[in-house]
Chains A and B, each alone.
Chain A
Amino acid sequence: MRGRSVALVAVVVLALIVVAPLVPSYPQTLLTQAVIFAILAMSLDVLLGYTGLASLGHAGYFGIAAYAVGILTTQHQAGFAVCLLVGIVLATGTAAVFGLLAIRATGTYFLMITLALGMVVWGLAFRWVSMTKGDNGIAGIPRPELGLPWNLSNPLPFFYFALAAFVLAWALLAILVRSPFGLSLKGIRESEARMRALGYNVWLHKYLAFVLAGAFAGFAGVFWGYYNGFVSPVDVQLVTSVETLLMVALGGPGTLGGPALGAAVIVLLKNYVSVYTKRWLLILGAVYIGVILFAPRGVFGAFRREPR
């Protein structure tokens, strides 16, 4: 099992490395976007797929890190390392605080609390004008300069850069979900009561999963800030959280490849179909409904036998 998923990811990554230079710059930017959202979707899957907690505030941590990049680069001329560190620390810290409030709830109540907490981040982005420039957003974020021979302002090098981040995130998350900790998360998803009876600290497990998911969302957010060169309250709003949730649901919760695939499909579908028809939302909606009806475990999950 382990060997096969590693091989699969290796094949996909290799294919991307080979294909990317062959396509023009616009699809390269779309692929970059897909890869960044894949990190975000995988991070949410730690909660949704592995722990069974559906969060509606995940864009918050993503956005906080993007805002950190925006503020640090445009006002303090900070370098990549500082932005990466601060972005992840802020996202993790926020998740650590929000987790204290959210984890006690389950089911619908958890959804509602995370929704509210996500709105708090949105409210801050929107109203703390001196810091975030409010509705106008922060523009002009320069691409990082790492002293590498490649100029990251160009689409292709930045794609490889984001792809490297994806591979790193995937590797870390793969280790995480296969570790004893990851297995106990799955146990909690299946039966919280039984895990508690077995003596596991369920609250702490869920809390740590929540914080780790926030950290990885922050990791994705740093790259999103650099990629777009722009951050605004739209990045932290509910729609972004819901879209991430859909990426996971579409791809296949409880796997890492699934959310990554879901992210790629949604990003590409959105930008591809909308070129041909104004009614692209209808088509996207039909895809969602189709997946939920015919492949409730997601596109990826549909072809994957749960090991019993």
Chain B
Amino acid sequence: MRTSRLSVRAAALLALLAFVAPFAVAPIATAQSGPIKIGMLAPLTGPFAQIGKDMVNGTELYLDEIGRQIGGRKVELIVEDDEGNPATALNKTRKMVEQDKVHLVTGGLLANVGYALQPYIDSQRIPATYPVMAADDITQRKPARYIVRTGWATSQPMHPFAEWVVKNTKARKIAFIGMDYAFGYETLGGFQQVLEQNGGQIVQKIWTPLNTNDFAPFLAQLKRDSDAVLALFVGRLALQFMKQYEESGLKAKLPLFGGGTLTDESVLPQMGDEALGTITALHYSQALDNPANQKFSKAFEAKAGKISSYYSEACYTNARWIAEAVKAAGGKVEDREGFLAALKKVELKDTARGPISIDKWGNPVQNIYVRKVERVGGKLQNTVIATIPAVGQFWKFNPDEYMKLPLYSRDYPPCKHC
């Protein structure tokens, strides 16, 4: 008995070591002739798995188009599931950087993942791109040296959108309802800042918990004497909000504006007439009429069996961005400083979302599209009704003065007209 117990314990220890052993095999040092390794994070399990899939499909689509080869070197894409959890994302990034020896880290969905990775990326000096994670400060008050954002900053579309609303609609007193987290704060913040400078007013802020199942009590609070409503929801919540907004009879009375994710193509096909007429702003629309987008959205639909969303376009263009940088660096991705410099110089004139360049903080300057949900050929789409060209993250503000202001938050800008 005694010996068997000991041997069992020894076996348990061995089993433990067996888990560790495979890690111990050091990867063969890759010479410059080896493949270019790109490590990508995406939420492949959990509530954001569908979006994660869009992100991976977008990336793979571009890599397939170029034959998984850049400048004669093979490209290897390593995809890891971050579960939408910053601690997991950090783990997986460590694995990709330290074990797989990737040359670049990309991907990620949620803002907190972006903030969590930032110190690690900078301490490892590993070039990284953020195609989706939009938290303003990653390229503003606390810019990361090794991160190039190929996507957008949350408030970037909202600044010009607010001005567009004042110039083109009669809405002046606007009530806000949206998700109670940083993405919501920065969406409203950008809108409110510009709206109130142009004589408009945010007359109400309603923050709904992320796990809301029923919007009726919140909709009941919405000020009926406002001119319009601005809403921000993502994924399942966007679907539910739109439905309940119509059912409550508000849609007929108060026109609806929104942050771009409210009618993103990842949820739009599942919406009905309740979405019609909603006006949102983003740097992409599946309905954009340019050759690059027509080619991309057709190819994406063929690959993924669903229409392209901003998430898939973000990762598709991100992959192209990386490929351009690799070419510009002469394929020398091992030279991290050189590769990073190349990533920071990319300029793309003809992407699916239009021309993109990059500012000195590492955020893209790109077109912002004001989009209206319409039914075309039986399907809902985000028809582009206005294009605001070459919008940067600071828009018309002076960058230095802008960054002296606090980051947009739950209480900033304050609600003076509530």
State the Cβ distance, B115 to closest chain A Cβ, in Å: 5
* Chain A residue contacts of B87, Cβ below 8 A: 228, 230, 232, 234-235
Partner of A24, one of B23, B115, B116, B181: B23
A132 to chain B, nearest CB (A): 12
> How many A residues touch B, CB cutoff 8 Å?
48
Interface residues in B, total, Cβ within 8 A: 42
A27 interface contact, C-beta 8 A:
yes
Q: Nearest chain-A residue to B91 (Cβ)?
A: A271
> CB-CB < 8 A to A304: which residues of B?
5
The answer to whether A30 and B23 touch (CB under 8 A), given A136-B111, A139-B116, A234-B86, is yes
Query: Is B98 in contact with A25, judged by CB distance below 8 angstroms?
Result: yes
In the complex, the answer to whether A229 meets B119 with C-beta atoms within 8 Å is yes
Decide yes or no: A303 and B5 within 8 Å by CB, A139-B118, A230-B90, A230-B119 being known contacts: yes
Question: Quick check: which of B8-16, B225-233, B284-292, B372-380 contacts chain A, the rest being far away?
Answer: B8-16
Closest residue on chain B to residue A22 by CB atoms: B24
Which of A25, A30, A153, A303 has a CB less than 8 Å from the CB of B8?
A: A303
Indicate if the CB atoms of A19 and B20 lie closer than 8 Å.
yes
* Min CB–CB distance B413 → chain A (angstroms): 15
In the complex, the answer to whether B112 meets A137 with C-beta atoms within 8 Å is yes
| Bound-complex Cα distance A300 to B8 (A) | 9
Q: Is A275 an interface residue (CB 8 A)?
A: yes
In this assembly, does B44 line the interface, its C-beta being within 8 Å of a C-beta of chain A?
yes
The answer for the CA separation of A280 and B252 in the assembled complex, in Å, is 47
Q: How far is the CA of A19 from the CA of B17 in the complex (A)?
A: 9
Task: Let me know if B19 and A11 touch, CB within 8 A.
Answer: no
| Cβ of A261 under 8 Å from chain B | yes
Q: How far is the CB of A279 from chain B (nearest CB, A)?
A: 9
Chain B residues within 8 Å of A126, by CB: 181
Residue of A nearest to B123 (CB): A153
Residues B86 and A26 in contact, CB atoms below 8 Å apart: no
Docked complex Cα distance between A82 and B95 (Å): 32
B98–A24 touching, CB < 8 Å: yes
Which single residue of chain A is at the shortest CB-CB distance from B52?
Answer: A278
Check A232/B116 contact, CB under 8 A, given A26-B23, A27-B20: yes
Question: Quick one: which of B391-418 are within 8 Å of A by CB?
Answer: 409-410
> In the assembled complex, which residues on chain A have CB atoms less than 8 Å from the CB atom of B23?
23-24, 26-27, 30, 272
A26 lies within 8 A of B112 (CB)? no
**Does chain A have a CB within 8 A of B267?**
no
Assembly CA distance A35 to B194 (angstroms): 50
Beta-carbon contact of B182 and A134 below 8 Å:
yes
B131 to chain A, nearest CB (A): 19
- Chain A residues contacting B20 (CB-CB under 8 Å) are 19, 23, 27, 30-31, 268
Q: How far is the CA of A172 from the CA of B393 in the complex (A)?
A: 54
Residue of A nearest to B116 (CB): A230
Listed by A's residue number, 12 A-B pairs whose Cβ atoms lie within 8 Å are A12-B13, A23-B24, A25-B94, A129-B409, A135-B181, A137-B116, A139-B118, A234-B86, A234-B87, A265-B19, A271-B91, A303-B12
